[in-house]
Amino acid sequence: MLHREGKATIFLSLVVLSALNGLVFWLAPNLAWLQNLILFGSVVLLVIVLQFFRNPTIQINANDNFVLSPADGKVVVIEEVEEPEFFQGKRLQISVFMSPFNVHVNRHPVSGFVKYFKYHPGKYLVAWHPKSSTENERTTTVIERPNGVQILYRQIAGAMARRIVWYIKEGQPAKQGGEMGFIKFGSRVDVFLPLDAKVKVELNQVVKGARSVLAEIA
């Protein structure tokens, strides 16, 4: 199944690639090797675009004590940091990097309601850059669980990601594993947890959105 965010990009890709192949067949009707090369490259590019916007059906690993990964990708940060925007204090940060080959649907790591949401325009540093969390284009979402514990997560655009999409606003309920947004073409999601959270992943571990457990919390 393809994600709705890919409709315009896929359509545009089909139009451009079809026009390119038509132009080559018209300008070089006797160069079969060139026609085949352009056709092969077009098919490869289209497959890459289609796989980027895939949205497979998943079985959500729901549990009130779990903080699930908000995205498919690889764990690139596990450390205690100062979170200046909302908590203004120390939190445990776990970051998941999404390559262009990962599913790019972003999901709520916990259930509750949206306590805080803000979009920040910014730079497009590579997603693993230490300053990308505070200087890149990004969104910040805080989910307050029924017991009052607050979890912050942040969509971060990378060097290739030039559009962040979100489907939430303050005051809305959030369901663990439910879609909250999408980031196009390589990006990262940071999750900020209480310091007493029990981390269940390791650096460079591959994780799956709404299925892999990042941490356990009270």
Cβ 115 vs Cβ 143: under 8 Å: yes
**Which pLDDT score is estimated for 186?**
64
C-alpha span between 102 and 99 (Å, rounded)? 6
Same domain, 70 and 46: no
Same domain, 121 and 47: no
Same domain, 98 and 177: yes
Same domain, 36 and 92: no
Same domain, 22 and 98: no
Same domain, 46 and 118: no
Cβ 218 vs Cβ 149: under 8 Å: yes
Same domain, 46 and 105: no
Buried b (16+ CB within 10 A) or exposed e, 109-144: bbbbebbebeebeeebbebebeebbbebbbbbbbbb
Block residue for tokens 């690639």: 17
Q: Within a domain: residue 153?
A: yes
Q: Within a domain: residue 125?
A: yes
Tally helices (H) and strands (E) across the chain.
3, 14
Same domain, 40 and 84: no
C-alpha span between 190 and 93 (Å, rounded)? 7
Residue partners of 91: CB distance under 8 A and separation at least 6 = 80, 81, 82, 83, 152, 192, 193, 194, 195
* Helix 32-52 and helix 7-27, axial crossing angle in degrees, nearest 10: 180
C-alpha span between 25 and 165 (Å, rounded)? 38
Strand 187-193, strand 150-157: pairing = antiparallel
Cβ 133 vs Cβ 85: under 8 Å: no
Q: Within a domain: residue 57?
A: no
* Residue 101 CB coordination number (10 Å): 12
Q: Within a domain: residue 86?
A: yes
**Which pLDDT score is estimated for 130?**
58
Same domain, 83 and 172: yes
**Which pLDDT score is estimated for 65?**
94
Strand 89-98, strand 150-157: pairing = unpaired
Structure tokens at 98: 């999404």
**Which pLDDT score is estimated for 165?**
87
Q: Within a domain: residue 59?
A: no
**Which pLDDT score is estimated for 88?**
94
**Which pLDDT score is estimated for 2?**
73
**Which pLDDT score is estimated for 185?**
66
What domain range is 114 assigned to? 66-216
Same domain, 41 and 76: no
Strand ranges, E, within 11-102: 66-68, 73-83, 89-98
10-residue mean pLDDT profile of the chain (218 residues): values are 76 89 88 89 84 82 95 95 95 92 91 96 64 76 96 84 82 95 83 97 97 95
Q: Within a domain: residue 61?
A: no
Please give the model's pTM, rounded to 2 decimal places.
Answer: 0.83
Q: Within a domain: residue 60?
A: no
Same domain, 76 and 106: yes
CATH code of the domain containing 205: 2.70.70.10
Which residue among the candidates 42, 95, 133, 187 is catalytic per the annotation? 187
Active site residue 187: yes
Indicate the number of domains in the chain: 2
Same domain, 154 and 121: yes
C-alpha distance across the termini of the chain, in Å: 36
Structure tokens at 76: 């690139």
